[in-house]
Amino acid sequence: MSWIEVVDANGRVVARRAAEGVPCTVGSALDNTLLIEGPDVAPYHARIDREADGRLTVTVLGQSSGLQRPGAPELAMFLALTPSAPVAVGGSVIRLVDEATRDVSVVASGPEPRWREFVSRRPVQWGAAALLAISGAAIGYFTMPGSERAVNALAVAVALVLAECAWVGLWAITGRIRHGRARFGEHFVVATAIAIVGWAVAELESWQQFLLPGAGAAATVLLAVTAVVWALAILLHLRVMNQAHWQKHVRIAAGFGVALFVMVLAVRDYQGPWSSDIEFSAVLKPFARVWASSPDQFGESLTKLRGQLDKDDEEPAATVAEDTAGS
Amino acid sequence: MNLRAYVVATGALLVLGPRVAHSQGIVTAAPPAGDVAQAFKRLAPAVVRIEVRETGAVALSSVGSGFFAAPSGRIITNYHVISRLVNEPGRHRGRATWGSDTVDIQVLAVDVVHDLAVLDAPDAHGAAMLTPVTVNLLKGDRLLAMGHPRDLGLSIVEGTYNGQVEHVLTPRLHFTGPLNPGMSGGPAVTPAGALVGVNVATMGEELAFLVPAEFVTRLLSRLPATLPTADALRRDMATQLGQMGVDALDALFIPGAPTVQLGPYRAPTEPSAAFQCWGDAREPKDAAYRLVVHRCGTDESVFLSEDLNAGLVYFSHQLLDGASLSRIRLLTASEQAFNDKLTFDGTARETTRFRCTTGNVRTATMTFRAEVCARRLKSLYGLYEAVMRATPLGATAQSLVTTLTMSGVRFDLIQRTVARYLASITLSPETQE
């Protein structure tokens, strides 16, 4: 059995298809049979056909930059594909082999995962938009103290949907440029799911601040959870754009999550430039049965605050003045 | 405008400097009577013009007045006239001028609470002196005030005594007369020439204030033997303010102190005669609740520097009356009111930044969410400024957001006062859940 393989610039087989499965297409768009990434690869770069005599041929499609024999400078619009004559597309090579290479990982190019199939359904996409809008309206209507409840509901719903459209739009534009398809709807479903999970984590954080004010370890754990949610969001959006390069996507998402966690941890206690303002940060819940100290205990607990203040800017104005006042 | 801003804005000090020179209109004095002219002639040799110059730019930083006081022959003025000599001694130099004489001055002692300073002028010889005396003044008694209004030359103005100022922690005399910027530190005397007070502040429209002469006597009685450093002066000022805080705060918010009913809550009001309370009720724009505000404070602030005042204590209660609101909406409104930003005066050179701590506090009748934010006054050793804001948890129809501010006080006093204040707010039993 013969196979058509795509080998990237590092010599790794990144896509494979049985030679019997032609015709097939090659390019950077997700719906190609063989996915090839690279700056010189067009979304729909070429098509592989079987001629009447049984030979395989590669033919340039549309706006692509052409085909080459590996190492040869000449560009061609049409080349034969044989075991001894591979075809170069961008930095990758399409080759015909008699036996599949077993010792390298190969990106699966089978049917779409179930979650991707799910998010690509139109009813699901409209459902996500409706869920987001209804959630925003509920927040505006049931929690805001303003007298115009309908206006509050509308304002929050519109703000939420617009904010998510902006976020999703960035992914869609990136996908359109890199892979030829925006997949706005799929990204929207993913973003809505992540928004719900993110809201749940934020709610956990606010309960932590309410029930355990000043508990640094609990806050750090929740910060880590937040970083994981963001990493998950990045990973899912990358997977929506492109099914290939699973490990690469995991590395990008994990790197983002770790960077976010470290960065927020580093600046969490940074207070910014000196200011004479007080920014209160009360988190209130409709719940009175919490652990609480007595007024005297609370007063005593302020000693720690005094310790912090006494350490702040430990160059007091005392250093200015051993002079006699007025001399 | 918060209470402190109101106090600072309305109690304009009489020093003539860049910040106040344009803030007051000149009020024309009535022509002095014959005895006033005689008094001027007799007292003028004792009254001096005091200037403080920034040494780098050799420019005037402030101009005020002062006078020679018996028996020491030292110059008396307001602390706020020469505060730069204490706070930034390396950058400022002070001089006193009377008649054709000019001498360098140095700060010998400060009473920051009453806004007085004693200056040492070793080269001043043979000047006339005023003697602080205790006079039983009656409302309506004529008084004469002297000084250098707007640096236009030595002047005398005539006014009347209108008693002790009410709602203040430190005694002040109410003088109805045209005091103007530049007259700070000048003497106020009876027509017979008895020193009864020192010009200190005005609220315009001939509403002016004097420091009673008894505090001049007290300050003169505790002069140091040698010239203190500015650092020693500031330590002394910190001690004075700290003691003032203890005197003013330690008796407040004790069980049985006056309270006001705000919805289902009883909260402190007018904790002493020095406090005055104001109230208001309104419906904030676009809000579905009624807001009742009750605030109390003293009508004064202690001048520390050009950028910093200490107001000692004031507090306010906001009742959010939202009977038509759901519990969640009332909670959001309370959270918004709680998180309202507060802005204070001061600079990074004078204070640290605010740091905050949060906790849940259970009193006999309810549980509070409380946040205390405090900063240290760097140049006044051991003194702090703190704000405590609290709101009861679990409110259903009416919520309370209360704020207590203490400025220029010792930290142990802040701790005790916060505890007593929270304990003094109660929920009426019949409305308790």
Q: DSSP for B18-82?
A: TTTTTTSPPPPPPPP-HHHHHHHHHHGGGEEEEEEEETTTTEEEEEEEEEEETTTTEEEE-HHHH
Per-residue confidence in pLDDT tens, chain B, 433 aa: 343 443 333 345 666 654 333 333 223 334 445 688 888 998 999 999 999 999 888 788 999 999 998 877 799 999 999 999 999 998 999 999 988 889 999 999 999 999 999 999 887 766 788 888 878 899 999 999 999 999 899 999 999 999 998 878 889 999 999 999 999 999 999 988 899 999 999 888 889 999 999 999 999 999 998 999 999 999 999 999 999 888 888 889 999 899 999 999 999 999 988 888 999 998 888 888 899 999 999 877 889 988 888 877 899 999 999 888 888 899 999 999 999 999 988 888 889 999 999 999 999 999 999 999 999 999 888 999 999 999 999 888 899 999 999 999 999 999 999 999 999 999 985 544 4
Q: What tokens appear for A263 in the block?
A: 């960065």
Does pLDDT of A76 surpass 90?
A: no
Q: What is the pLDDT of residue B429?
A: 57
Does pLDDT of A103 surpass 50?
A: no
Does pLDDT of A201 surpass 50?
A: yes
Q: What is the pLDDT of residue B17?
A: 55
Cα distances from A145 to residues A14, A141, A150, B326, B394, in angstroms, run 56, 9, 12, 9, 16
Q: What is the pLDDT of residue B106?
A: 93
Whether residue A212 lies within 8 A of chain B, CB to CB, comes out as no
- List, as ranges, residues 271-290 from A with C-beta within 8 Å of B: 271, 274-290
Secondary-structure percent of chain A, ordered helix, strand, coil, rounded to 5: 50, 15, 35
| Residue B408: alpha-carbon gap to chain centroid | 11
Over its C-alpha atoms, chain B yields an Rg (Å, rounded) of 24
Query: Cβ of B393 and A290 within 8 Å?
Result: yes
Nearest Cα to Cα of residue B43 among B121, B157, B210: B157
* One-letter identity of residue B128: A
DSSP classification of residue B264? T
Neighbours of A297 (CB within 10 A): 13
Q: What is the pLDDT of residue A38?
A: 78
Q: What is the pLDDT of residue A318?
A: 41
Whether residue B55 lies within 8 A of chain A, CB to CB, comes out as no
pLDDT digits (tens, 9 = 90+) for A112-143: 678 888 998 999 999 999 999 999 999 999 99
Helix (H, G, I), strand (E, B) or coil at A322: coil
* Partner residue opposite A278 with nearest CB, options B227, B328, B373: B373
Q: Which residues have C-beta within 8 Å of that of residue B156, sequence separation ≥ 6? A: B32, B36, B39, B40, B43, B144, B145, B146
Burial class (CB in 10 A: 0-12, 13-18, 19+), A155: middle
Whether residue A294 lies within 8 A of chain B, CB to CB, comes out as yes
Burial class (CB in 10 A: 0-12, 13-18, 19+), A267: exposed
Mean pLDDT of A178-199: 90
Query: Cβ of A321 and B90 within 8 Å?
Result: yes
Q: What is the pLDDT of residue A321?
A: 37
Q: Before A23, cis peptide (omega within 30)?
A: yes
Burial class (CB in 10 A: 0-12, 13-18, 19+), B336: middle
Q: How many angstroms separate the CA of residue B373 from the nearest CA in chain A?
A: 7
Whether residue A270 lies within 8 A of chain B, CB to CB, comes out as no
The DSSP-derived string for B380-404 is STTEEEEEEEEEETT-SSEEEEEEE
Q: Which residue has the higher pLDDT, A157 or A271?
A: A157
| B48 contacts B75 by C-beta, under 8 angstroms | yes
Q: Which residues of A216-246 are buried (b: 16+ CB within 10 A; e: fewer)?
A: eebbeebbbbbbbbbbbbbbbbbbbbbbbbe
- A interface test, pick of B376, B389, B413, B420 with most A CB neighbours within 10 Å: B376
As for the ipTM of the complex, it is: 0.83
Nearest Cα to Cα of residue B62 among B90, B95, B98: B95
Contacts 24+ apart (CB under 8 A), B166-170: B166/B273, B166/B276, B167/B273, B167/B274, B167/B275, B167/B276, B167/B298, B167/B299, B168/B274, B168/B298, B168/B299, B168/B300, B169/B244, B169/B247, B169/B248, B169/B274, B169/B298, B169/B300, B169/B312, B170/B113, B170/B114, B170/B244, B170/B300, B170/B302
| B186 contacts B146 by C-beta, under 8 angstroms | yes
Whether residue B420 lies within 8 A of chain A, CB to CB, comes out as yes
| Residue B280: alpha-carbon gap to chain centroid | 24
- Cross-strand partners of A80: A57
* Partner residue opposite A298 with nearest CB, options B338, B361, B411: B361
Q: Which residues of B96-135 are buried (b: 16+ CB within 10 A; e: fewer)?
A: bebeeebbbbbbbbbbbbbbbbbbbbeebeebebbebeeb
Neighbours of A114 (CB within 10 A): 8
Nearest Cα to Cα of residue B180 among B215, B135, B148: B148
Please report residues of A whose CB lies closer than 8 A to that of B88: 320
Neighbours of B411 (CB within 10 A): 20
Instruction: Give dist(CA A203, CA B244) in Å, integer.
Output: 46
Please report residues of B whose CB lies closer than 8 A to that of A310: 376
Instruction: Give dist(CA A156, CA B126) in Å, integer.
Output: 79
Q: How many angstroms separate the CA of residue A287 from the nearest CA in chain B?
A: 5
Nearest Cα to Cα of residue A276 among B416, B346, B115: B346
Backbone φ/ψ region at B279: left (φ over 0), alpha (ψ -120 to 50), beta: beta
Instruction: Give dist(CA A318, CA B350) in Å, integer.
Output: 11
The helix or strand, by DSSP H or E, that contains position B226, with its residue range, turns out to be none
Cα distances from A86 to residues A72, A104, B366, B422, in angstroms, run 11, 19, 81, 83
Pairing verdict, β B342-343 and A78-81: unpaired
Q: How many angstroms separate the CA of residue B224 from the nearest CA in chain A?
A: 13
Q: What is the pLDDT of residue B228?
A: 94
| B205 contacts B164 by C-beta, under 8 angstroms | no
CATH pick for A7-97 out of 2.40.340.10, 2.60.450.10, 2.60.200.20, 2.120.10.70: 2.60.200.20
* Partner residue opposite A145 with nearest CB, options B89, B234, B330: B330
Nearest Cα to Cα of residue A139 among B47, B1, B328: B328
* Partner residue opposite A305 with nearest CB, options B92, B342, B372: B372
Q: Where are the domains of chain A?
A: 7-97, 114-270
The DSSP-derived string for A192-241 is HHHHHHHHHHHHHHHHHHHHSTT-HHHHHHHHHHHHHHHHHHHHHHHHHH
* Partner residue opposite A290 with nearest CB, options B367, B389, B414: B367
Instruction: Give dist(CA A177, CA A172) in Å, integer.
Output: 9
Nearest Cα to Cα of residue B252 among B415, B424, B376, B53: B424
Size of interface A-B (CB pairs under 8 A): 236
Please report residues of A whose CB lies closer than 8 A to that of B93: 326
Q: What is the pLDDT of residue B110?
A: 96
pLDDT digits (tens, 9 = 90+) for A224-247: 999 999 999 999 999 888 776 788
Instruction: Give dist(CA B240, CA B402) in Å, integer.
Output: 29
Burial class (CB in 10 A: 0-12, 13-18, 19+), B322: buried
